Amino acid sequence: MMSKKVQIKVMDNGGFRVTGDVELIDMEGNPFPEKPAFSLCRCGNR
């Protein structure tokens, strides 16, 4: 099976939209349930 290419899109006045085969890990090393896409906040970015 082929992996889906990872894409990170910067949203206007918003966060980063992440799509593709990315594993998101919490601060204790536990993976979050897999999703086809998720967003990351960029609060405080100047």
Looking at residue 28, its pLDDT comes to 98
- Asked if residue 29 is part of any domain, the answer here is yes
pTM for the predicted model, two decimal places: 0.75
Looking at residue 46, its pLDDT comes to 59
- Asked if residue 17 is part of any domain, the answer here is yes
Give the single-character DSSP code of 36: S
Domain count, the chain: 1
What is the full DSSP assignment across 7-27? EEEEPTTS-EEEESS---B-T
- Asked if residue 45 is part of any domain, the answer here is no
Note down pLDDT in tens along the chain; length 46 residues.
567 899 999 999 889 999 999 999 999 999 999 999 999 998 875 5
Looking at residue 45, its pLDDT comes to 57
- Residue 8's nearest CA partner among 32, 39, 33, 31 is 39
- The letter for the amino acid at 41 is C
Residue 22: domain span: 7-40
- Asked if residue 33 is part of any domain, the answer here is yes
Cα(27)–Cα(32) distance, integer angstroms = 11
